[in-house]
A and B are shown apart, each in its own frame.
Chain A
Amino acid sequence: MPFNQKPQKFNAKINAVTIGSGDKTVTIGGENSFPFYSFDAPTENTPKIGVEISDLGLDEFSEGVKAYYEGATTMAEIAQKAAAIEGADFVALILDGGDPNGANKSVEELIEVVKEVAGAIDCPLVVEGCKNVEKDAELLPKVAEVLQGRNALLLSEKEENYKAIGAAAGLAYNQIVGAESAVDINLAKQLNVVTTQLGVDAKKIVMNIGSAAAGYGYEYVVSTMDRIKGAALGQNDNMLQMPIITPVSAETWAVKEATASEADMPEWGSADERGIDMEVMTAAADLAAGSDAVILRHPESVKTISKLIKALA
């Protein structure tokens, strides 16, 4: 009997969200099939890759990453080199230095960094806060204000600060709101509900549903993404039809497989290669589970994942 292919059709789709303004924009989401199921439906928009840079500069980055950015001293130069990486679709600036338990830079200081980076590149921009909920509630509305017209994605509002960040980014300054939950499908949905109840357009929300490095409770990330896509498409749940962005690098470059030096762990081999491996493995799994965009750090990881997307999508 001949094989008769029956495509799995859904009467629902993920929202297509465009980040950036002018000539250089990227659109994520828009799909009405599971990740890379191009045999069920043509791929609307392929997954996109962002390159992570930090207001703290390059000090915390691995040798290989530092080598790529050699010669770049200002944040503007770093941003330009990030945008130039082969396969990069957007730049993700993380304002790590705002953390009150770390460098504790002032909001004003960080805003200057945002302005410098935004002025140096015209590609789509994602700005992530310092992850401290009080500081971000103060910082991200200011970021939204100075980036008016850039249609930037701001990461992230959380349950504790969605009112301040959601209202500023989504209502007052017309940016895209990143809604972050920590691998909790019910909270992911709830955050979308309350954000839209503020008046934010559901089609201006992108979810960060949480992440982990492969091997670090990662299976919960996969099952959460899987269930979100299943409910969004199979149950036409419009409070889960927001595309998903996953900041991969912040997780993968913090685990011992990436941080242990070659001197301490000679049998593990090159620290840089291990870091790339962790980043590539995790990002590939995120994309296969339903991420519409990933944020990566190492140029080699960006190149590799970009090839994977081209081959599969």
Chain B
Amino acid sequence: MAKFVTIGERLSTTAPAVNKAFTERDPEPILKRAKQQLDAGATYLDVNIGPAENDGPELMKWAVELLQGNFDNVPLALDTSNVAAIEAGISVYNRSKGKPIVNSADAAGRIGYVDVAAANDAIVIALCNGEGIAKDNDERMMYMQTLMERGMEQGMDVENDMWFDPLFLVIKGMQDKQMEVLDFIKMISDMGMKSTGGLSNNSNGMPKHIRPIMDSAMVAMAMMQGLTSAIVNPNDLRLMETIKSCDIIKNNYLYADSYLEI
């Protein structure tokens, strides 16, 4: 099995400093956060420019060129509801370190994102969700099938280029649903498919010092079920140490005494 793929989530317009930097095209804060994430071991970086309705394509191009130019063509996940911006980002994207990821499609209004990924030979994160949260795993599976069919119709390599997102749910409020999400990850894995997701959803609303603990427990259980990737904060040391340790236990990566440092 391949090593777990971490997608760093810290370049997002939901962070006011990043939003400001994107708006003003100020490279410094962007590069600083990117470097922190890469130094901590992130494989991919997510670039969330928000809806970017006015200047999406131009902004995404700027961000892709800035990050790949400064960090040896780091592979990126392009995260926006603006399709034109994703296409513009891919048009200047260098693939030498990995295909671009389109973040993300779902089985309802955003199913067209599968087509965008297929047309551009990109990976797509496929959220197993329609309108509202799936009520159970039967429904999740139905959405997954819809997405897979769409991918196949479009000629995608579904086993490698569609990463299915089970949608991690918040524990505070949906505690009874957690095992179901984990079971669904196992189903994705048993089908030979890849998976990813916004891991830290689970600990939303918990005290700051609790979140790394809960996220680490969740990632370990999810990796046991076959999760192959997650969108995470790579600067959460406890979480990254857990992921690296799970990679060792799963024999995804050969052990050496310094495994936490590499």
- Interface residues in chain A, defined as those with a beta carbon under 8 Å from any beta carbon in chain B: 185-187, 189-190, 193-194, 197, 227, 231, 235-237, 239-240
Residues of chain A within 8 A of B262, CB atoms compared: 193, 239
B258 near A194 with CB under 8 A, answer yes
B252 near A235 with CB under 8 A, answer yes
Closest residue on chain B to residue A240 by CB atoms: B254
Q: Tell me whether B71 is interfacial, beta carbon within 8 Å.
A: no
Closest residue on chain A to residue B98 by CB atoms: A11
B254 near A193 with CB under 8 A, answer no
A186 near B256 with CB under 8 A, answer yes
Question: Chain A: interface secondary structure?
Answer: helix
Which one of A190, A193, A235 contacts B253 once the chains associate, using CB atoms below 8 Å? Answer: A235
**A186 and B261 alpha carbons, distance in the complex (Å):** 15
CB-contacts of B216-262 with A (<8 A): 252-258, 261-262
Nearest CB of chain B from residue A256's CB, rounded to whole Å: 35
Nearest CB of chain A from residue B56's CB, rounded to whole Å: 32
- Interface flags, B1-44, vs A, CB<8A=1, else 0: 01100000000000000000000000000000000000000000
> Which of B3, B252, B256, B262 has the most CB atoms of chain A within a 10 A radius of its CB?
B256
> How many chain B residues touch A (Cβ–Cβ < 8 Å)?
11
B256 near A193 with CB under 8 A, answer yes
Closest residue on chain B to residue A230 by CB atoms: B254
Residues of chain A within 8 A of B255, CB atoms compared: 186, 189
A186 near B258 with CB under 8 A, answer no
Residues of chain B within 8 A of A190, CB atoms compared: 256-258
Residues of chain B within 8 A of A227, CB atoms compared: 254
**A284 and B254 alpha carbons, distance in the complex (Å):** 27
**A40 and B253 alpha carbons, distance in the complex (Å):** 24
Nearest CB of chain B from residue A242's CB, rounded to whole Å: 13
Closest residue on chain B to residue A192 by CB atoms: B256
Nearest CB of chain B from residue A237's CB, rounded to whole Å: 6
A239 near B252 with CB under 8 A, answer no
Residues of chain B within 8 A of A185, CB atoms compared: 254
B258 near A197 with CB under 8 A, answer yes
3 closest A-B pairs by beta carbon, nearest first, are A189-B256, A190-B256, A193-B258
Residues of chain B within 8 A of A237, CB atoms compared: 253-254
Residues of chain A within 8 A of B254, CB atoms compared: 185-186, 189, 227, 231, 235, 237, 239-240
> Which of A185, A189, A231 has the most CB atoms of chain B within a 10 A radius of its CB?
A189
Residues of chain A within 8 A of B3, CB atoms compared: 235-236
Closest residue on chain A to residue B255 by CB atoms: A186
